[in-house]
Amino acid sequence: MTALVAFEEIRGRRLAAEIVILGGDPRSPGAEAVVDAVTLFAVLMLAAVVTTVTAGVAYLTWLVRARRANKAANPSGPVLAAWLLPGINLVAPVMLVDEVWKGARPPYDRRGRWLALVSAWWLSWLTAVALVAVRLPLRDSTGDLTGLSGLELGAAAVAALLCACTVREITRIQTAPARPRSLAQAA
C-alpha cells in the first residue's frame, strides 16, 4: 500500500492524465510512452493484492492455532465466520481475539492494558476499512489511479502495527513458562 500511495503521488496523477489523453487505447500513437509506468502500476497492484491475501491467511492461521493452543478441540469455523460474514465481522473478530487472550490465562493485572490495546487495534482497523470502503468511493478522485492517499495508508499502518502488538501479546503469554497461580488469581 505504501508503494501504491508513493506511486500515486509521484507518477499516478500524471499517468492518469496521459491515459485520458490517449483515450485508453493501447494502440494509440503515444501509448508506448506510458507502457513502463502502466506496467509498474500493474506490478504494484498485484503485489498489494498478494501481500494483503498472504497477510490475511497468515493471521487467520495464527488465530486458529492460538485458539487451539488454549483448547485443542477449538474448531476453525468460528474464526472464518467471525472474519468473513458481513455484519458479524464488525464485532466478532475483536471478541474472538479477546477470548483467545483470556484463554491463554494471562496475568490478571494486565486486563486493562490488554483492553486498551485490543480496542485501539479494532477501532483503527474499522477506521482503515471505512476510509477505503466508504470514503474512497465518495472521494472525487479525478486524475487518480487508486484514490489512495496518506490518510488511508496511515490508518492501515496503525491498524497493522496494533494488530501485530495483539499477536505478540497473546503469543508471549502462550509461550511463557507456566507460572503457579496464586489463590487470589484463581479466585
pTM for this prediction: 0.81
Give the pLDDT band of residue 108 (cuts 50, 70, 90): confident
For the cut 80, the answer to whether the pLDDT of residue 173 exceeds it is: yes
Domain ranges of the chain: 2-176
Kindly state the percentage of the chain with pLDDT values over 90.
52
pLDDT tens for residues 30-80? 777 788 888 898 899 999 999 999 999 999 999 999 999 999 998 889 899
166/18 Cα distance (integer angstroms): 44
Q: Is 31 exposed, middle or buried (0-12, 13-18, 19+ CB in 10 A)?
A: middle
Q: What pLDDT, in 10s, does the model give residues 109-124?
A: 999 999 999 999 999 9
Q: Is the pLDDT higher at 26 or at 58?
A: 58
Yes or no: say if 83 and 149 are a contact pair by the CB < 8 Å rule.
no
Whole-Å CA distances, 119 to 55, 75, 163: 21, 25, 10
